[in-house]
Structure 1
Amino acid sequence: MTVTTLLAAGCSSDTTTSSTSARPTATASALTGVSVPDSFSPVVVTPVSNSTFPWLGTDQKYHVSYDLQLTNASRLPASITKVEVVDAKHPNSVITSLSGRQLVDPKCAYGECNLLRMLPSTNTTDTVIPPGQSRALLIDLAFGTLKQAPAAVSHRLSLTGQANPPAAKPTPISYLAAPFDISAGKPLSIAPPLRGTNWIAANGCCGTGEAHRPSLNTFNGKLTNSQRFAIDWLKLTDTGQFYSGDKTKNESYADYGQSVYAVADGTVSSTLNTVDAGTPGLLPAKDPVLGPKLTIENVDGNHIIENLGGGVWAMYAHLIKGSLLVKPGDKVKKGQKIAELGNTGNSSAPHLHLQLMDNASLLQADSIPYVFDHFTYEGQISPAAWQASDAYESGTFFQGKLPQGQPRSGQLPLDLSIVDFPSP
């Protein structure tokens, strides 16, 4: 199922606290004393993400997600065998090791697989990086407690490649690279953007097989991923279906026209309110007539970008034309209705796309993790059922719903979570 896609595309406690400035800021202490041994490194490792921090998911684990660019700057092909993420100050302490199907698996459609990406971000067929070419690597870490997360990580590459400048053929080598700060802030706690029952966190973090996590793009002269933590919110009926009646009409979908609310106090930075509704089941990017009409301005349909302060912006996208109740410069309050959920832009079904980012421009922004202050966790949609659904989201999806919901706070729903958002 594809709801939406892209254009051309250490802490001291186990509590998650809100911050008025959740924009990641690299801290000198995290990398103090961190170094990597001298080595000839044919594959150059560069973080795509800004410094980041852990956040608590609905699996009760603390997650850290970021992206790396791997560039083969040597004369010989480089075949990646394994990438280990290690504690930067204790490099013999391995946090996770990525190899085999985690890097490349053409048969895997969903989960912790195909983390090594072609650029622009698509699955690759092998782990070879030819001379002068680059790949991206998606990193997703999970910790049982916040104390288990180090202040910074480094990356040990094992590969077959050019071991030294005169080398004439590839040989096995291994080296450390790219120390990276993962303790650069705390997640901002925001209010739900919607209200009611049976909301689905589609295309959420983490793993591949969905639209947002691997959505690296080249904008404004750099590689960016502003949608790393974005969620497409869809609503199920009381019988566990996304629509009832004519599946080709937006009005048949349970979430169409639902009120959208500001997730925090802030100021509206920009809006778009002129894009006509799309047709369910049809993704414009894959249509020969509609595809060429998509631009970087209208790909997200009608939308609102809100400045939350502290270097954080919220984006609400795919809204109904004419439903926006705010304009640039308006001050809004948390919980204030700002628009209605629609199906505009590069979207194949009604939904609300929500993300937090560190820039008012989607094209320049890096994605920022966040948590919701309150919701009720109701279970999970099966990835197999989701992947098997058609372009209209046909099917019944309550198989993984819990007998009784669980109140949650300070968490970010993981991909395909079922949640209820209570009224204030």
Structure 2
Amino acid sequence: MAYMHKGWLLLLLVTVQFAQFAGARDATSRESFDLQVPVAPTPVTVEGRARLQYELHLTNFTDSPLRPTAIEIGDGASGFPLARFEGDALATRITLIGPADEAQLQGAIPGGRRAVLYVEMNLAPDAVPAALVHRHSYVRADDGEDTISGPRVELDAMPLPSLGPPVRGGPWVVIYDPSWPRGHRRMLLAVDGRARLPGRFATDWVRVDAQGRSARGDVDLARNALGYGEAAIAVADATVVAIRNDFPESERVSANPKHAIDDASGNHVVLDLGSSRYAIYEHLRPGSVRVAVGQRVQRGQVLGELGFSGDSTGPHLHFHVADGPSPVRAEGRPFALERFRALGRYEDLSHLGSAPWTPRAPAATALRSGELPEGNSVIEVDAPAARD
């Protein structure tokens, strides 16, 4: 009987916890936010942890500003809390769509406006739930704090594409940072009647030497970059579905102008990986693309050369995976590299090109497999010999 009593007590506690998490505190109906998760997260392994990365859209359907104060994320089955964001940790994740105003300066979302909350969570691999639930606390301009629940989001269980590297050798700095206000992670593009986030998991690959230098001689000359002209290679056996090879590039980094949205990727190659996943290579050198639309390529085959075409702050290879063949008209999706060696990381990316990176601790495992490299990490890769 004692065992049964403890079991029922545990069940009761879990049920109460879930009800408190998933249920609204106030049964009174009030207008507030419309809450939507446009793209369900797919777990990707980073440094041995499962990362969930997604966006929550908050649209204020009232006439007055609403100021978010906290968001809690829980396991959809048990209600067990997984993460909580409040204070600066919440404020730095919220971006108002459109121009900022006085309400946003106070951390509020004006009536009739939409904001996007960017979520990144790292969990133990065995703690990833099948679904997520959310609870939001906010303050009304003319009232006290209120709480609403939702939405419930089923995780996308589609297996990640496990890929070879898009380049050879190294060291390469794999640049991305979810917190950058104008980084790939936060660049929503509303094209053809739909807002998408192509760069949700986009990476920029910059070649460096052992001292952390990224160029030789005059660093303003694009051709002096260490990575300029390096081969961009196929990450898998795939079919070429889109290319551009004739877009000019500026001779000097400082002279590169702003480009229209369809020209931002410059010269590029898109590979169909199958299962509605596409590998996209951007900023290739003009005239360097060696493949044609419809051509079947093999992993390791040279597609083109790293260059400086399109919107770019310096010569590098932009690489990401998406659910469509367009650089701007598709949702960015996670991917994993089959194998790479993690050498270290730039804690402060402003030192890139002028100082060495911070090496990994001796006890850390340098050889990684089936992972997405951590942002701003320095890695080396093995790749098959060129196949033309």
**Alpha-carbon shift at residue 217 of structure 1 (Å):** 2.2
Paired letter, 2:375: D
TM-score calculated relative to the size of structure 2: 0.86
**Alpha-carbon shift at residue 331 of structure 1 (Å):** 1.0
Q: Of Structure 1 and Structure 2, which has the larger fraction of its residues in helix?
A: 2
Report 1:216-235 matches (<5 A).
216-235=188-207
Match in the other structure for 1:90 = 78
CA contact (8 A) 2:170 2:379 kept: yes
Paired letter, 1:174: T
Match in the other structure for 2:139 = 160
Match in the other structure for 2:96 = 118
Match in the other structure for 2:16 = none
Report 1:95-106 matches (<5 A).
95-104=82-91
* 1:411 is the counterpart of 2:376: no
Judge which range, 236-245 or 301-310, deviates more. Answer: 236-245
**Alpha-carbon shift at residue 219 of structure 1 (Å):** 1.8
Q: Write the distance in 2 (CA, Å) between the matches of 1:73 and 1:189.
A: 42
- The alpha-carbon distance between structure 1 residues 54 and 283, as it changes in their structure 2 partners (threshold 3 A), is farther
Report 1:297-376 matches (<5 A).
297-376=262-341
Q: Write the distance in 2 (CA, Å) between the matches of 1:42 and 1:351.
A: 44
Runs of 4+ in 1 over 3 A off after TM superposition: 34-41, 120-126, 206-210, 399-405
CA contact (8 A) 1:67 1:136 kept: yes
Other structure's SS at 2:223 match = helix
Other structure's SS at 1:282 match = helix
**Alpha-carbon shift at residue 361 of structure 1 (Å):** 2.3
- The alpha-carbon distance between structure 1 residues 83 and 35, as it changes in their structure 2 partners (threshold 3 A), is closer
Other structure's SS at 1:97 match = strand
- The alpha-carbon distance between structure 1 residues 233 and 126, as it changes in their structure 2 partners (threshold 3 A), is farther
Q: Write the distance in 2 (CA, Å) between the matches of 1:223 and 1:408.
A: 34
Paired letter, 2:56: L
**What is the alpha-carbon root mean square deviation over aligned residues?**
2.3
**Alpha-carbon shift at residue 183 of structure 1 (Å):** 4.1
Residue ranges of structure 2 left out of the alignment (5+ in a row): 1-20
Match in the other structure for 2:111 = 131
Q: Write the distance in 1 (CA, Å) between the matches of 2:237 and 2:332.
A: 19
**Alpha-carbon shift at residue 125 of structure 1 (Å):** 3.2
Residue ranges of structure 1 left out of the alignment (5+ in a row): 1-33, 105-113, 163-168, 285-289
Judge which range, 186-195 or 395-404, deviates more. Answer: 395-404
- The alpha-carbon distance between structure 1 residues 283 and 74, as it changes in their structure 2 partners (threshold 3 A), is farther
**Alpha-carbon shift at residue 299 of structure 1 (Å):** 0.7
**Alpha-carbon shift at residue 150 of structure 1 (Å):** 0.8
Per-residue CA distance 1:141-189 (angstroms, 9 max, x = gap): 1112x22011111211100128xxxxxx332110111111224222210
- Computing the radius of gyration from Cα coordinates, the structure with the larger value is 2
How many residues are treated as equivalent by the alignment?
358
* 1:396 is the counterpart of 2:361: no
- The alpha-carbon distance between structure 1 residues 238 and 405, as it changes in their structure 2 partners (threshold 3 A), is farther
**Alpha-carbon shift at residue 208 of structure 1 (Å):** 3.3
Q: Write the distance in 2 (CA, Å) between the matches of 1:364 and 1:345.
A: 17
Match in the other structure for 2:249 = 277
Q: Write the distance in 2 (CA, Å) between the matches of 1:101 and 1:295.
A: 34
Match in the other structure for 1:51 = 40
Percent sequence identity over aligned pairs: 25
- The alpha-carbon distance between structure 1 residues 148 and 233, as it changes in their structure 2 partners (threshold 3 A), is same
Match in the other structure for 2:211 = 239
Q: Write the distance in 2 (CA, Å) between the matches of 1:35 and 1:419.
A: 42
Per-residue CA distance 1:288-311 (angstroms, 9 max, x = gap): xx33xx222211110011111110
The match for 1:60 among 24, 48, 71 is 48
Match in the other structure for 1:111 = none
Other structure's SS at 1:129 match = coil
**Alpha-carbon shift at residue 121 of structure 1 (Å):** 9.6
Per-residue CA distance 1:259-280 (angstroms, 9 max, x = gap): 1101111111111111112245
Q: Write the distance in 2 (CA, Å) between the matches of 1:278 and 1:198.
A: 25
Q: Write the distance in 2 (CA, Å) between the matches of 1:51 and 1:274.
A: 36
Per-residue CA distance 1:50-90 (angstroms, 9 max, x = gap): 22321111x22110100111000012221111111112233
CA contact (8 A) 1:279 1:348 kept: no
Paired letter, 2:44: W
Paired letter, 1:150: P
CA contact (8 A) 1:152 1:183 kept: no
CA contact (8 A) 2:283 2:317 kept: yes
Q: Write the distance in 1 (CA, Å) between the matches of 2:280 and 2:131.
A: 29
Judge which range, 134-143 or 249-258, deviates more. Answer: 249-258
**Alpha-carbon shift at residue 257 of structure 1 (Å):** 0.4
Q: Write the distance in 2 (CA, Å) between the matches of 1:260 and 1:274.
A: 17
Q: Write the distance in 1 (CA, Å) between the matches of 2:359 and 2:105.
A: 33
* 1:423 is the counterpart of 2:383: yes
Match in the other structure for 1:150 = 129
- The alpha-carbon distance between structure 1 residues 215 and 90, as it changes in their structure 2 partners (threshold 3 A), is same
CA contact (8 A) 2:171 2:209 kept: yes
Other structure's SS at 2:299 match = coil
CA contact (8 A) 2:336 2:371 kept: yes
Match in the other structure for 1:25 = none
Q: Write the distance in 2 (CA, Å) between the matches of 1:138 and 1:100.
A: 15
**Alpha-carbon shift at residue 402 of structure 1 (Å):** 5.3
Whose relative contact order is higher, 1 or 2, with alpha carbons under 8 Å and at least 6 apart? 1
Q: Write the distance in 1 (CA, Å) between the matches of 2:262 and 2:253.
A: 22
**Alpha-carbon shift at residue 215 of structure 1 (Å):** 1.6
Match in the other structure for 2:236 = 264
Per-residue CA distance 1:74-125 (angstroms, 9 max, x = gap): 122211111111122333x211111111122xxxxxxxxx100122599963
**Alpha-carbon shift at residue 36 of structure 1 (Å):** 6.0
Q: Write the distance in 2 (CA, Å) between the matches of 1:248 and 1:402.
A: 34
Per-residue CA distance 1:225-270 (angstroms, 9 max, x = gap): 1101000000102322111211121222111100110111111111
